[in-house]
Structure 1
Amino acid sequence: MSYLSIEFGLIFVGFFAIYWAFRLLPKFQNILLLISSYLIVASYSFQFAVILFIYTCAIYFVSVMIAGSKHHAKRWLILGLVAAIINLALFKYFDFFRYELQSLCNYLNLSILIPVVTVLIPIGISFYTFHSVSYLVSIKKRELPVARFWDFALFLAFFPSLIAGPINRAKTFLPQIAVNQPRDILEPFRAFTLIILAVIKVYCLGGLISENWVTPIFSNPLEYSVIDLLVGLYAYAMQIYLNFSGYTDLVTGIALLLGFRLPINFNFPYLAFNLREFWDRWHISLSHWIRDYIYIPLGGSRCGFVRTQVNVMLAMLLSGLWHGAGINFIIWGACHGIGIVFLNILDRFIGRGWITQRSPTVARLLSWHYICFTWLFFCCESFTDALDYLYALCHNFTVDSHYIGAFISIGIVFFIYPICKNIPTWSAVQFSKINSVYLPVFFILILWLTIYLAPSGVPNFIYANF
């Protein structure tokens, strides 16, 4: 069930009323949240809910053993991390690696037949795996006591952040679950603003961009000119940002209405002057997770300049692989890794921020175009499709352009983008000035108008696939 569907909206209104009817009983509210979260998972597949529950029991057992062991806590931690990684790999990467291993066996003339098994990827598995790793590490570091089982189960299954994040840290989110005092709705005007922005971003703007530019151009790139192909890349960069940041806005707003705070996940990433800054602004909960649980354990920047660049490449390759089991995602991660390594080399030999200090606009333009280039591999379904797009981009130098107006419009948007930075805060202030009696009517009117202008159908969340 899509969180943008009319059905979910109506169900959530009813759930919201029941949930806050038990405001004085936060433990009972947790039970309602846990049941609703599992029902949402089961709406995709009952098996997914069973897998999540079994995984929750296994990780919780390991956490108890870590907390209760003085001499073998590290071994239990390693066991838990290995189990989490194997579980994720089996469900998410079995088909990809089966194909590659079978090709290798055939090339080596080995008479080994790796069985074909249809594996469905459980919804949210990447995110609850990351949540569990955060929990186990926090238990090992004694940052947290062992949570109550049902609190931990809710931490992994919390429906606003289960499908596509953001990634919650155990030490900041579990205390929000384990409260004894009554909860309150947090920042209601900001919550409503985020929900409205989400619908506008995903339903209207993202849907229109996808329908008019991304889908037709990426479907057959060989038919389009270089200008049109650039429009396709720029448009996809805008679509994926609107889609993913819109999803984050939506679930953040929902969480605030339920009395929970989710971590900030986006901070105007296309204002970045370089790739490092981009990753400090884009999918922040993931980039910080990779930094803390992959890059730093590999040695971070503590082992010399060359080793640091190796660690950067490994972290970004794993980031690409996390997004999907395919060569295109690995190439996408490699492109970002190479870009950051190149930036580090420039910083070392000509000075940090050399381009930005001389021309911030040039720095932004260079970063924007490199990021758009990498989105090519993210968007295309296969490596062959990406090569076709690249071939057309390097050869279709014609003056006949279908989307010259779109090209100019995107250029204008790029330069006025910094002005949009204060829109969420400004909107929340304006909503707070409206009489509370008229606010629901105003809210419904905006949503209806947005849906009316948007393409037909409920849009998918791109990151729900990862």
Structure 2
Amino acid sequence: MSYLSIEFGLLFIAFFALYWGCYRSPKIQNLLLLVSSYLIVGSYSWQFALILFIYTCAIYLFSVMIAASDRHAKRWLFLGLCVSIVNLALFKYFDFFRYELQDLLNFFNLPILLPVITVLIPIGISFYTFHSVSYLVSVKKKELPVAKFWDFALFLSFFPSVIAGPINRAKDFLPQINITQPREILEPIRAFTLLILAVIKVYCLGGLISEHWVNPIFANPLEFSVIDLLVGLYAYAMQIYLNFSGYTDLVTGIALLLGFRLPINFNFPYLALNLRDFWARWHISLSRWIRDYIYIPLGGNRRGFIRTQINVMLAMLLSGLWHGAGINFIIWGGCHGIGIVALNIGDRYFGQGWVTARSPLVARLLTWHYICFTWLFFNCESLSDAVDYLTALMHNFLIEPHYAGAFLVICFIYFAYPMCKNFPEWFIIQLTKIPHCYLPMVFILILWLVIYIAPSGMPNFIYANF
């Protein structure tokens, strides 16, 4: 069930009334959240809900053993992390590694045929795996005590963030679950503003860009000119940002209405002046998770310059693999790793921020174009599709462009983008000036206009696939 569907909206209104009807008892609210979260996961497949529950029981058992044994806490932590990784690898990467291993066996002419087993990827498995890792590590570091089982089950399954994030840290989110005082709706005007922004971004703008620019060009890149192909790359960069940040706005708004705060996940990433800056602004909860649980444990920047670059590459390659079980995602992560390593080398020999210091605009343009280049591998279904796109990009100079007007529009949007930085806060301020009795009519009018302009069909959340 899509969170943008009318069905979900009606069900959420009914749930919202029931939820806040029990505002005197956070325990009952937690129970309602837990049941609804499992029903949403189960709406995709009852097996997904069962897998989540079994996984929850296993990880909780490891957390109990970690807390109960000082001498063997590291051993239990290691075993718990192994279970998390094996569970994720089994469901998400089994087919990928089977195909790659079969190709390797065929290459060496070994008469071994690996069994074909269809493994469905449980919805949200990447995100609740990351949540569980943060919990185990926090228990080991004694940042928090072992949670009550049902509180921990809600932490892993919390429906606003289980499908596609943001990634919650146990030490920040569990205290919001385990409270005794009545909750309250947090920043209602901001919450409704985020819901409106989400609908505009995902349903309207992202849908129009995908339908008119991205899909036609990526479907057959060999037929389009270089200008058109650039439009395709720029448009996809805009689409994935609108789609994912819109989803984050949506679930953040829902969480605020339920009395919870989710971590910030975006901070105008296309204003970044370099790749490090980009990852400090894009999917912030993931980049910080990779930094804290992969990059720093590998040694971070504490073991010399060369080892630091190796750690960067490993972290970014794992980031690419996390996004999808395919060579294209590994290449995407590798491109970001190479870009950050090149940036580090430049800073070492030419000075910190040597491009930015000379021209922030040039630095931003270089970063934007490099990011758009990497999105090519992210969006293409196979490496051959990406090669076709690159081949057309390097040869189709003589084909007459079909999207020259779109190219100019995108250029305008790009240079106007910085002016949108304060728009959400400005919009919230304007809403506070309107009498509360008129606010529902304002929201309904905006939603009606968005739905009227938006293309038909229900848009997918891109990151729900990961």
Q: Distance in 2 between matches of 1:425 and 1:150?
A: 37
Q: Distance in 1 between matches of 2:145 and 2:416?
A: 48
Structural mapping, 1:7-46, within 5 Å? 7-46=7-46
Contact 2:273 2:360 in 1 (8 A): yes
C-alpha offsets along residues 273-327 of structure 1, whole Å, 9 cap, x if unaligned?
0000000000000000000000000000000000000000000000000000000
- Between 327-336 and 426-435, report the one with greater CA deviation: 426-435
Deviation at 1:126, TM superposition (A): 0.2
Structural mapping, 1:36-435, within 5 Å? 36-398=36-398, 400-435=400-435
Deviation at 1:432, TM superposition (A): 1.4
Aligned-partner residue type, residue 101 of structure 1: L
Deviation at 1:113, TM superposition (A): 2.0
Deviation at 1:112, TM superposition (A): 2.2
Q: Distance in 1 between matches of 2:339 and 2:373?
A: 11
Deviation at 1:104, TM superposition (A): 1.1
SS in 2 for 1:147: coil
Q: Distance in 2 between matches of 1:348 and 1:203?
A: 44
SS in 1 for 2:437: coil
Q: Distance in 1 between matches of 2:22 and 2:426?
A: 33
Aligned-partner residue type, residue 361 of structure 1: L
* Counterpart position of 2:455: 455
Contact 2:269 2:281 in 1 (8 A): yes
C-alpha offsets along residues 134-163 of structure 1, whole Å, 9 cap, x if unaligned?
000000000000000000000000000000
Aligned-partner residue type, residue 73 of structure 2: A
Q: Distance in 1 between matches of 2:366 and 2:70?
A: 52
Q: Distance in 1 between matches of 2:457 and 2:109?
A: 49
Q: Distance in 2 between matches of 1:422 and 1:46?
A: 43
Q: Hey, which bits of structure 1, 4+ residues long, moved more than 3 A?
A: none
SS in 2 for 1:355: helix
C-alpha offsets along residues 358-382 of structure 1, whole Å, 9 cap, x if unaligned?
1100000000000000000000000
Aligned-partner residue type, residue 207 of structure 1: G
Q: Distance in 2 between matches of 1:82 and 1:110?
A: 30
SS in 2 for 1:281: coil
| Count of equivalent residues | 466
Q: Distance in 2 between matches of 1:174 and 1:424?
A: 28
Q: Distance in 2 between matches of 1:398 and 1:63?
A: 63
- Between 347-356 and 432-441, report the one with greater CA deviation: 432-441
SS in 2 for 1:111: coil
Aligned-partner residue type, residue 410 of structure 1: I
Q: Distance in 2 between matches of 1:318 and 1:223?
A: 34
Q: Distance in 1 between matches of 2:198 and 2:315?
A: 30
- Between 155-164 and 100-109, report the one with greater CA deviation: 100-109
Q: Distance in 2 between matches of 1:164 and 1:134?
A: 17
Q: Distance in 1 between matches of 2:152 and 2:115?
A: 36
Deviation at 1:438, TM superposition (A): 1.2
Q: Distance in 2 between matches of 1:241 and 1:56?
A: 31
Aligned-partner residue type, residue 439 of structure 2: L
Q: Distance in 2 between matches of 1:31 and 1:444?
A: 31
Deviation at 1:110, TM superposition (A): 2.2
User: TM-score, normalization: structure 1?
Assistant: 0.99
SS in 2 for 1:438: helix
Q: Distance in 1 between matches of 2:444 and 2:15?
A: 18
Aligned-partner residue type, residue 49 of structure 1: A
SS in 1 for 2:436: coil
Over the residues paired in the alignment, what is the CA RMSD in angstroms? 0.6
Q: Distance in 1 between matches of 2:154 and 2:392?
A: 49
Aligned-partner residue type, residue 100 of structure 1: E
C-alpha offsets along residues 75-103 of structure 1, whole Å, 9 cap, x if unaligned?
00000000000000000000000001111
Q: State the percentage of identical aligned residues.
A: 79
Aligned-partner residue type, residue 75 of structure 2: R
Q: Which segments of 5 or more consecutive residues in structure 2 lack a partner in the other structure?
A: none
- Between 264-273 and 407-416, report the one with greater CA deviation: 407-416
Deviation at 1:399, TM superposition (A): 5.7
- Between 426-435 and 149-158, report the one with greater CA deviation: 426-435
* Counterpart position of 1:441: 441
Aligned-partner residue type, residue 85 of structure 1: I
Contact 2:290 2:315 in 1 (8 A): yes
Contact 2:224 2:399 in 1 (8 A): no
Q: Distance in 2 between matches of 1:430 and 1:72?
A: 57
Q: Distance in 1 between matches of 2:65 and 2:112?
A: 39
Deviation at 1:344, TM superposition (A): 0.2
Q: Distance in 1 between matches of 2:41 and 2:338?
A: 37
- Between 232-241 and 445-454, report the one with greater CA deviation: 445-454
Q: Distance in 2 between matches of 1:372 and 1:110?
A: 41
Deviation at 1:258, TM superposition (A): 0.2
Q: Distance in 2 between matches of 1:337 and 1:70?
A: 37
Aligned-partner residue type, residue 54 of structure 2: I
Q: Which segments of 5 or more consecutive residues in structure 1 lack a partner in the other structure?
A: none
